[in-house]
Structure 1
């Protein structure tokens, strides 16, 4: 992490500035940001930025390889497999822990990956607010691949809207206004002018979908999908009450829900390199490692850290009845490299890629980051701390 930028930021940081930052961040939003936002961004050195980019490129190469779809067919639960899948995901998110290797070098280690959108709208607003309130050096940027705010938003628009008009594309989630990520929905709406709807707002005529606005039905050509099926997995009767989106419908998905499973924890055992922790499907485990304390047990089909067993015991493994749906992954030890006024803080950085139709490969566009002092990264594990929560990375242009 960039020590000079960190020293300047900390020297000028005050609690009053942070309060001003939060006020500015919430200004104009329908509701205040519902999750904790950290007091500081992360300042990357050129060296660590380049390590992140290289690590991301090697993982993207695996996704691009011929046969990736065949390799990941088993990842999609039959009950959530949708027809009309396209040939690539429109969004890829790669989560890296900031760690220290055996030589004492600060390195990225892959934690998880997702073929699913993240806070592509909110991060622009967040970066702008940090810059304005804390007077971040104009030589530093939140964008990758040579993008600036204008070209980033053009790429986002190309990815989500494609050839359609804004009112033909809907951002859809389960009870969208109630989601913790709703702040991102409405900022995205501000940038792209697309409607935000809930699953229950969908109306069906034949194989076509519609939504209603001011008493008029509007045809949906594309769904910018923010619905994670895990959220409705326990409700066996939901599609008796709303449109069954698993049907063959005349609508495009951005991105198609099958990619949520293809690019996920399921992909981890197929990845290799210094930045990849050793990962095995549990049903392929020949014997339990002698150093089991250095591993974590993860269910394939869960999100936000749910179901993860951190302190694994042999009986935890023996008692699992569906080992084909679990992975055993070497623990990643985060290094507290972010210097807060009272000590080090751990960090995780999510690289966010955009892949519009017509492009041959995804573009690394922007980042999301999280700071933690707790046992796990994530807001729910850091509720009693400061200098933790959601943030963004700044790096040299």
Structure 2
């Protein structure tokens, strides 16, 4: 999207350089099971400023005093966790890059989460791109005046808080073997905290412990990467560990309820040039005549599961729980990244950290490239120049 940077990068690119880049990325870690794209994204200043403005509009809604009230129904009754804190520690907003009516590049909100993303891996990824390719210093993967030292300091404050690193752990069902485990390992290297599978944590009274060298060590704070949807059909797993829905003496980073509050559920409340028209399906009184321009999404799913792209009236009539679905105007991505064999669509995730008692701070970003019908691994399995990457944004 910055023509001079794109031309410079494509001229230096070789398959051999890409293989070397992946080897460097995995050096000291396990093999990365998801596809990393062949290129970063070069984001011009005008688009960067629109991405920042779009994020600010969303944050203004989240900071409204009534935000918890209007999103209370987002939390499934079976998965409401006690002792929710005042704010999420993470905000991630995914924008498809499109063209507006004036023909300018413009972001359109696709997804939003009050849940952590690849906050450590993205720094490692950007550094590795710079190490293996000639990336111009007039661009930066950090935003808002951050550099690596300032970023790690804030990341440490958000994750560890007032505790010692050994009292804090990244937790997921089978943390060491998750698809995004590379982020866990880079986080551990960056912050010195533990990586624990759910079953490695035991409950004693209201307190949680893990064992190391024969000693029981109390956990004070959990960097939560467990998505309840992934264990909803297997709650027996909690019997060998602990149930997050119990009353516990633990601090959550971030509290599980925020996964639901800041999600597709929030989108109908947003009115912006950067947000596609979105309505709860049970509030749609008349089916649009141009239904081919809409997409139907379940509220409680992740990674694009259950989305109906080519929606029909019959699809809508079959849904028995319309309050749990949204009807959203389709976003038309522009193929703005030039690969050796044509244009590629891009999605950019703006990533914020929100320390306890502080303000949300835009720090860095993630990008995903796609040639398929949707952004996501399952839709891009047979292509190259697709997958996860990072945006280098014009200063």
What TM bracket, shorter-length normalisation?
over 0.9
**Pair 1:282-2:264 in alignment:** no
**Structure 2 unaligned regions, length at least 5:** none
| 1:134-169 deviation line (CA, Å, top 9, x unaligned) | 021223211011000111111100110111110011
5 Å-filtered alignment, 1:370-389, equals 370-389=368-387
Which residue of structure 1 lines up, in the alignment, with residue 168 of structure 2? Answer: 169
Which residue of structure 1 lines up, in the alignment, with residue 45 of structure 2? Answer: 46
5 Å-filtered alignment, 1:191-340, equals 191-340=190-339
**Structure 1 unaligned regions, length at least 5:** none
Q: Distance in 2 between matches of 1:308 and 1:352?
A: 24
Which residue of structure 1 lines up, in the alignment, with residue 28 of structure 2? Answer: 28
| 1:181-212 deviation line (CA, Å, top 9, x unaligned) | 10100100000000000111111111000111
Which residue of structure 2 lines up, in the alignment, with residue 58 of structure 1? Answer: 57
Which residue of structure 2 lines up, in the alignment, with residue 18 of structure 1? Answer: 18
- Deviation, 1:236, is 4.3
Q: Distance in 1 between matches of 2:222 and 2:314?
A: 43
5 Å-filtered alignment, 1:75-114, equals 75-114=74-113
- Deviation, 1:242, is 2.9
SS at match of 2:300: coil
- Deviation, 1:240, is 3.1
5 Å-filtered alignment, 1:122-133, equals 122-133=121-132
Q: Distance in 2 between matches of 1:213 and 1:321?
A: 49
| 1:1-24 deviation line (CA, Å, top 9, x unaligned) | 211111111111111111111111
Q: Distance in 1 between matches of 2:356 and 2:236?
A: 35
Q: Distance in 2 between matches of 1:109 and 1:358?
A: 30
SS at match of 1:287: coil
2:108/2:331 contact within 8 Å kept:
yes
Q: Distance in 2 between matches of 1:239 and 1:119?
A: 26
Which residue of structure 1 lines up, in the alignment, with residue 178 of structure 2? Answer: 179
SS at match of 1:110: strand
Q: Distance in 1 between matches of 2:364 and 2:305?
A: 26
Which residue of structure 1 lines up, in the alignment, with residue 137 of structure 2? Answer: 138
Which residue of structure 2 lines up, in the alignment, with residue 147 of structure 1? Answer: 146
- 4+ residue segments displaced more than 6 Å: none
Which residue of structure 2 lines up, in the alignment, with residue 189 of structure 1? Answer: 188
Aligned residues: 395
- Deviation, 1:358, is 2.1
2:203/2:241 contact within 8 Å kept:
no
Q: Distance in 1 between matches of 2:17 and 2:168?
A: 38
User: Aligned to 2:367, which of 369, 391, 394?
Assistant: 369
- Deviation, 1:241, is 3.4
CA RMSD of aligned residues (A): 0.8
**Pair 1:72-2:66 in alignment:** no
| 1:190-246 deviation line (CA, Å, top 9, x unaligned) | 000000001111111110001111211110100000000000111243333331121
- Deviation, 1:308, is 0.5
| 1:232-267 deviation line (CA, Å, top 9, x unaligned) | 111243333331121010000000000000000000
Q: Distance in 1 between matches of 2:296 and 2:355?
A: 34
Which residue of structure 2 lines up, in the alignment, with residue 7 of structure 1? Answer: 7
Q: Distance in 1 between matches of 2:261 and 2:92?
A: 13
Which residue of structure 2 lines up, in the alignment, with residue 121 of structure 1? Answer: 120
- Deviation, 1:289, is 0.6
Q: Distance in 1 between matches of 2:379 and 2:168?
A: 35
**TM-score normalized by structure 1?**
0.98
Q: Distance in 1 between matches of 2:176 and 2:243?
A: 21
Bigger Cα displacement from structure 2, 2-11 vs 261-270: 2-11
SS at match of 2:85: coil
